[in-house]
Amino acid sequence: MPSIADLQRLLDKSPNDPDLLYGLAMEHAKAARTDEACAHFDRCLAADPTYCYAYYHKARALEAAHRITEALATLRAGLTAAKAARDNHALSELTAYLDDLDA
């Protein structure tokens, strides 16, 4: 996986590329930089509201930071997006995660 610096350089050239934004968010999440991760997940979702796994992994980052209410809201938004995109696989994973987290 490219480093944060590598991804940022690529993003500077394509600031609305959802794949780059998602990759950068994931790298920040791995480094436990929740606010930076969430900001990039949000930019990813602004660029492509149907990027369902951005909702899933944003919720994971929020859960890791003990921000459960925000994680639940993110998962619910992801369910809406997955239904709209007719992405049954994402819908299944988001539903299972929401059920686990909301228990």
Range of the domain at 81: 4-102
Alpha-carbon gap, residue 38 to 97, rounded angstroms: 18
What CATH number corresponds to the domain at position 53?
1.25.40.10
Question: Number of folded domains in the chain?
Answer: 1
Closest by CA position to 55, among listed 69, 45, 70 = 45
pLDDT tens for the chain, residues 1 to 103: 678 899 899 999 999 999 999 999 999 999 999 999 999 999 999 999 999 999 999 999 999 999 999 999 999 999 999 999 999 999 999 999 999 998 8
* Residue 67: C-alpha distances to residues 28, 71, 81, 101, 103 (Å): 16, 6, 21, 11, 15
Whole-structure pTM value = 0.93
